Amino acid sequence: MRDLTYEIPNLYAAEPIPDAARAAIDALLSSGDLFRYSAPKDAPVSLLEEDFADLIGARYALAVSSCSAALFLSLKALDLPKNARVLIPAFTFAAVPSAVVHADCVPVLVEVDNSYRINLTDFKAKISSVDAILISHMRGHTSDMDAILNLAEEHGLPVVEDAAHSLGTTWNGQNIGTLGRIGCFSFQSYKMINAGEGGIMITDDPDLFARAVIMSGAYEHTWKKHAKIGEIGAKWQNKLPLYNMRMQNLSATVIRPQLPELARRVRDGRRNHDFVAKNLTASGHFHVPAPLDGELRAPDSIQFTLLDFTDAQTHRFLEAATANGVPASVFGLSKDNARAFWNWQFLEETPELPLTRAMLMRACDVRLPARLQISDLEFVATALIAAASAAKA
């Protein structure tokens, strides 16, 4: 048998951190100044917040320990009452309902259909029963944000965007994360910018920003080190709990030199996705849902639906794809998958969501990091198509 191992692309390996980070990290280590609020000004975390706000087009940015922390602080900053009902899509990562629970709120799951996007009929049916809306742009798939924002406004509901995995995606030319009252992003290793862990929230609302700054752990007068906060910080002084979810300077020093890389990663990620999508679609075995008008994604993975596969064929496909060197998973079939809502057993009840369940049982997920070359993409597409043919033979 031909030895294929030499050409199998590693879909999990990270991209190196840019060399530009090294000198800055060295200087930081020499100073020992790792805490964001030690320096009187220009701490790496503060500089990251300025850079990120400029890059994304927001007035304020607050860097924190994770996107989950950013989501939690967003809900707290909105001052929702205890047990407030927060609408979230049923197709998301377990960290999202977890952040809602952490914020003493109750997640209300809305159906996601076979386009991987929020089902607007179910959204309209549930919107009257909630106090806030948290839109998770899962893997960058953007639901109809015009419709969602209009309905939210009609009902006077705040919208938080979970853009953890959507940095670089745009909706009608505007950055995802800047559409709602608050947007949250992740710097965990599998996202577009990799610091191992980390997150950031953005908003144009000075009051929400000041509340989030204090609750993130700006004790005493450290909030004054957020240059744009003004005197509004004083209004919330001593009034709010300090949850200590700050980012440290080392993380910011790893992130900042990656910001100029973003445009390239977005461009290459899109090229990779579209190349594989075209080949998979042409095979007739798979459906790759088209983007909505107005949506331009920044993918670092591909999702596609298996067409006319029985359960047994689906399992055979996954085994064959993995044997061919491409680890693929179907969200609803891999054991304990954190993106399958029935595994969120920490919720008080698991709702019946037939559309989302049907989608999850046939939607497949394959990583396609930006650094892959065309030959890698050919390998991935060929391996998946061969696995489908074998599974159906």
Ligand X SMILES: *Cc1c(COP(=O)(O)O)cnc(C)c1O
Minimum CB distance to ligand X, residue 19 (Å): 25
Place of tokens 């030959």: 375
Stretch that binds ligand X, among 33-41, 66-74, 223-231, 261-269 (CB under 6 A): 66-74
Q: Does 258 bind ligand X (CB under 6 A)?
A: no
Closer to ligand X at the Cβ: 186 or 194?
186
Minimum CB distance to ligand X, residue 168 (Å): 14
Stretch that binds ligand X, among 117-125, 143-151, 159-167, 380-388 (CB under 6 A): 159-167
**Alpha carbon 323 to chain centroid distance?**
29
- Phi, psi for residue 320 in degrees, rounded to 5: -65, -40
Dig out the tokens for 158 from the structure.
């705040």
Q: Contacts by 277-281 with C-beta closer than 8 Å and gap 24+?
A: 277/302, 277/304, 279/378, 279/381, 279/382, 279/385, 280/304, 280/381, 280/384, 280/385
Nearest alpha carbon to residue 63 among 226, 198, 168, 242:
198
Query: Would you list the DSSP string of 55-66?
Result: HHT-SEEEEES-
Stretch that binds ligand X, among 64-72, 77-85, 286-294, 373-381 (CB under 6 A): 64-72
Q: Which of 37, 60, 91, 93 binds ligand X (CB under 6 A)?
A: 93
Q: Does 165 bind ligand X (CB under 6 A)?
A: yes
Q: Does 247 bind ligand X (CB under 6 A)?
A: no
How many helices (H) and strands (E) in the chain? 13, 14
Minimum CB distance to ligand X, residue 302 (Å): 15
Closer to ligand X at the Cβ: 89 or 233?
89
Q: Does 122 bind ligand X (CB under 6 A)?
A: no
**Alpha carbon 25 to chain centroid distance?**
26
Q: Does 68 bind ligand X (CB under 6 A)?
A: yes
Give yes or no for a contact between 7 and 222, defined as CB atoms under 8 angstroms apart.
no
Strand order in the sheet with 295-296: 174-175, 170-171, 295-296
Closer to ligand X at the Cβ: 67 or 108?
67
Rule CB under 6 A: which of 286-315 touch ligand X? Answer: none
Q: Does 203 bind ligand X (CB under 6 A)?
A: no
Give the residues lining the site for ligand X (CB under 6 A).
66-68, 92-93, 95-96, 136, 138, 162, 164-165, 186, 188, 199
